Amino acid sequence: MLTSTLRRITTAFVFILLLSSGFAQKSQNPNDFPWKSPPKATNWVNDFEDIFTNAEERKLEKQILAFKAKTGMEIAIVTIDKRAMTAEEFDAFTLEIAKDWAFGSKEKNDGMLIAISKGLRRIYIHNGIGTAEIFSDAATAKIIDEVFIPAFKKGEYYQGTKEGLKSIIKKLKE
């Protein structure tokens, strides 16, 4: 009788341990929302909202890599699904992503992160301190207002991002 009871208790205990370990192993998949910490960068273009096709992502990456090869400066793009955060959290969280990913050289702090959320209707460009010296907040706002937003309003997210990136690169080369 005692052995049978111990066996049941042991079985129940092992079952509870297995069950609780399954809950503790939460996936780090960037498509699991809401995000508790920044997702890991996988490329120069990290499309967590799936607003670009694979071919479009490759074209944007090619544009970024050509610029990096000429200047050494690094630009990354992240798109964020509206399930990951609220519109109010967007700017601060994308700054966290920019700091975590740390694009650009440490010495020059010349990286840039273009953060876009179609679902939240938000875009924010984070400039490293070195980039901000040659690419002001006013220049950033102008490109967002005149290049990104008009295309986004038409639902042309790739076109707006491609042309916005092209404008940024042109301005950074001046």
Number of domains in the chain: 1
Please name the amino acid found at residue 134.
I
- Classified as helix, coil or strand, 31 is coil
Residue 13 in any domain: the answer is: no
Q: Kindly state whether residue 26 falls inside one of the protein's structural domains.
A: no
Cα–Cα distance, 30 to 167 (Å, whole number): 29
Does any domain span residue 156? yes
Q: pLDDT: is 124 or 24 the higher one?
A: 124
Query: What pLDDT is stored for residue 35 in this prediction?
Result: 57
For 107-131, letters b (16+ CB in 10 Å) and e give eebbbbbbbbbbebebbbbbbbebb
Residue 35 falls inside a structural domain: no
Q: Quick check: 34 pLDDT over 70?
A: no
Residue 42 in this model has a pLDDT that exceeds 60: yes
Higher per-residue confidence, 55 vs 8: 55
Side-chain-side CA neighbours of 105 within 13 Å: the count stands at: 7
pTM for the whole structure: 0.78
Looking up residue 53, the CATH number of its domain turns out to be 3.10.310.50
Residue 57 lies in a domain: yes
Instruction: Please indicate, yes or no, if residue 21 is contained in any of the structural domains.
Output: no
Higher pLDDT, 101 or 59: 59
CA angle 121, 54, 103 (to 5 degrees): 65
Structure tokens at 20: 């609780």
In a domain, 84, yes or no: yes
For residue 132 the two structure tokens come to 């901000």
**Residues sharing a CB contact under 8 Å with residue 143, sequence separation 6 or more, in sequence order:** 125, 164, 167, 168, 171
Q: Where in the sequence is the domain holding 80, given as residue range(s)?
A: 45-173
Q: Would residue 20 count as lying in a domain?
A: no
Phi then psi for residue 135, to 5 deg, are: -135, 90
- Of the candidates 113, 148, 149, the one whose C-alpha atom is nearest the C-alpha of residue 128 is 113
What is the overall mean pLDDT for the chain?
81
Cβ distance 81 to 46 under 8 Å? no
